[in-house]
A and B are shown apart, each in its own frame.
Chain A
């Protein structure tokens, strides 16, 4: 099959970017989207042009490296997949495919389709952990966890930190990402002692870094490659209100 690509090219953070058109022939529908980009880059290198920079690693939807905005949607048209799990069979012959990086103020472009997601790292450092020293953990079965709670915590814990939720949101809100961690730890007894501080600190950090507020459009839930539910934002909000009104001070 043939595709008409329109790809965002930007040499670095200081230079203004632009769309460049590329036509690509002989694409096998069974190719993954990233393999199609590999083929494009092969061609560009042979022509002496700069290949398109994009991030990728595991190519099975779990590392969260790849994140492309394809025809106006994070990770493209299919549901519950990361870009690396998208195949060319999802597009029609001759289709125009627009490929952009995540667009959000807290995710500045590094080059072409690569953005700087270190803001997510900073949010995690603000409280996305249980402060337990090696050596002081109790015997694992001393902490019984209701099966349903463990399963819900897992459903939140599967977040791959790709940033699709931010890219999908008109407010560039990181609420789905933040809530996935807050909710996971709020559902487990291990997370309770620090629940208050965690909710306040992580949300304050997200605000500080320039992520927007949540206006419940639910776009993030639709686009999340791991199908993380809005329910976790609701749980995070409860945690946040509880924490805000709590008498407990640190």
Chain B
């Protein structure tokens, strides 16, 4: 059994990372040339890691299932990226950013990791700017910032509502440079099917070429997973529809522990679901809450046109309940508040599952042009989908599954419990506790990829300079490949009657209803049974046409859905185990009279790291206790 050693360096919080850097093992340039690293996934975390490792001299093999790294879902991040530059002289600092993340995460994140994330944030902005990322500017030529939910300073750097795209393209361009230099070998249209362990250490992967169907073996000295989050577990989410949990689940089944799987962020401002055939939900950036005011009618079931509802008949419920932060409360608080109002019958729109986000006041104060400059492309996006113009009528919004704070458990070096296997970006569990603050996912992905992993991985690889990457003719690779083939053949041989998507849809509904924004013991136990039954049905009755030796998108889907079943089971156990409410994890049994989350620090101030015990078996729980030495643990209040 692996030991949960978080490897947090000794010393005061502010010195931990510099102490680590000063004492870690280094690999000489001559030796780096002999070391191979596999990076799976090339979004912001993966592309920046692959490029930075290559710049150091390692031989990198990078993999993505898209036809281009530019399509990774990091591209869809809208609002911005945080950094503690204190450009506005508003009292910001590395410590404040750290503190906001710890508090925002509801005291369920590891202090040392979070502090380091805040510490490297300024370097990220420098790096991205130098790469030509066109951040918004002031008239004097300096970089502009804006505020975001959960904080009282202006530290979010942005490029209109397309910051993720611009930041990703920065990392992508760094990756392209290293591909051109021959230091990264890029494999597009590859899906990872197996992780190969040699003597208990991660040494390779098996991939499927999505064009030819061929199974391929790749070996290296270390494997990095940068495979993103699993919000698509709900079927409908803000994620790209092919985003998945498969690589993480492959690692989990091979012995990597899964940290806090049930911590999933529900984003408060998304375009509501309009119909049954809908395939995805579109996010409307949190930055809109800077100028938009959220409200519902004071009267239940008020069907008047929103513009005809006078001020005194509107309930600006966030401003009413949380006067200190108002519309800028963190995402979990805003999401639950919207659900509470809608469940109480005050929701608007055809389904009653929506609230208004209104720009009337902001347009009156600042003018339509100024608002257009800040949010123009988001307003256009909204109008394209709904047909309504937010300049004229308030947006209708509702929460949707968005980001997963949970992920593979990693230590301070970002290594999983499998030696030589790393997880970075959204794929790991590390920096956001039970709730992520806005504009910190790009920050974490880029921080892990540019500054943290390229250093920490050397500490491991320094001991590998005398050994070559294993030959792929080894038995371990042959076995992994035949396991992968077997899995594909098993799925293809079912020849059932229902599509993979139809199963995904049904699974998503169970998870959204019972393991979404609010959870309770009864519902989770019911979901446990339902998921098990649906999983059995899936392996009896899924219909995948075609063969494995061709482009087969249905086969790809079925693999993803299969992994979502296993992950759902894990998520439910995690949510059941945690008898408290914290951040995005809201157990209805544990709330204050005012309906706020009630933590149980005495019994649950730990990271739940789950170890796989076999299919349909109860996973084993390992606890990493969390210690707050540098922050005072408080009841999180935004009132």
Chain A residues within 8 Å of B, Cβ to Cβ: 11-12, 28, 30-32, 34-35, 38-39, 42, 45-46, 48-51, 53, 55-65, 80-81, 85, 89, 110-111, 114, 116-118, 120-121, 124-126, 128-134, 136-141, 143-147, 150-151, 153-154, 157-158, 160-161, 184-185, 188, 190-191
Chain A residues, CB < 8 A from B387:
89
**Considering the chains assembled together, what is the distance between the CA atoms of A61 and B136 in angstroms?**
21
CB pair B134–A141 under 8 Å, yes or no, is no
Chain B 589-625 per-residue mask, 1 if CB under 8 angstroms from chain A, else 0 = 0000000000000000000000000000000000000
CB pair A188–B85 under 8 Å, yes or no, is no
Identify which of A42, A45, A59 contacts B280 (C-beta below 8 A): A59
Chain A residues, CB < 8 A from B179:
125
CB pair B553–A53 under 8 Å, yes or no, is yes
Nearest residue (CB) in A for B87 is A141
CB pair A118–B67 under 8 Å, yes or no, is yes
Chain B 45-56 per-residue mask, 1 if CB under 8 angstroms from chain A, else 0 = 000000110010
Identify which of B130, B172, B381 contacts A138 (C-beta below 8 A): B130
Chain B 262-290 per-residue mask, 1 if CB under 8 angstroms from chain A, else 0 = 00000000000011011110110000000
**Considering the chains assembled together, what is the distance between the CA atoms of A111 and B551 in angstroms?**
7
**Considering the chains assembled together, what is the distance between the CA atoms of A120 and B162 in angstroms?**
21
**Considering the chains assembled together, what is the distance between the CA atoms of A147 and B227 in angstroms?**
35
Identify which of A64, A118, A128, A150 contacts B176 (C-beta below 8 A): A128
CB pair A59–B240 under 8 Å, yes or no, is yes
CB pair B545–A48 under 8 Å, yes or no, is yes
CB pair A134–B451 under 8 Å, yes or no, is yes
Residues of A contacting B: mostly? loop
Nearest residue (CB) in B for A59 is B280
Nearest residue (CB) in B for A55 is B67
Say whether B482 faces chain A, with CB atoms less than 8 Å apart: no
CB pair B75–A62 under 8 Å, yes or no, is yes
Say whether B169 faces chain A, with CB atoms less than 8 Å apart: yes
Identify which of A63, A89, A128, A185 contacts B76 (C-beta below 8 A): A63
Q: List 20 A-B contacts (CB under 8 A).
A: A30-B274, A35-B277, A38-B277, A46-B499, A53-B551, A58-B240, A59-B282, A62-B165, A63-B240, A64-B70, A65-B67, A130-B132, A132-B174, A133-B55, A136-B130, A140-B126, A141-B87, A154-B159, A160-B70, A184-B132
Q: A81-B384, A141-B87, A144-B141 are in contact. Are A134 and B450 (CB under 8 A)?
A: yes
Nearest residue (CB) in B for A156 is B134
CB pair B71–A190 under 8 Å, yes or no, is no
Identify which of A53, A58, A124, A157 contacts B73 (C-beta below 8 A): A58
**Considering the chains assembled together, what is the distance between the CA atoms of A192 and B284 in angstroms?**
35
A-facing residues in B535-565 (Cβ within 8 Å): 543, 545-546, 550-551, 553-554
Nearest residue (CB) in A for B77 is A62
**Considering the chains assembled together, what is the distance between the CA atoms of A30 and B243 in angstroms?**
24
Say whether B310 faces chain A, with CB atoms less than 8 Å apart: no
Say whether B30 faces chain A, with CB atoms less than 8 Å apart: no
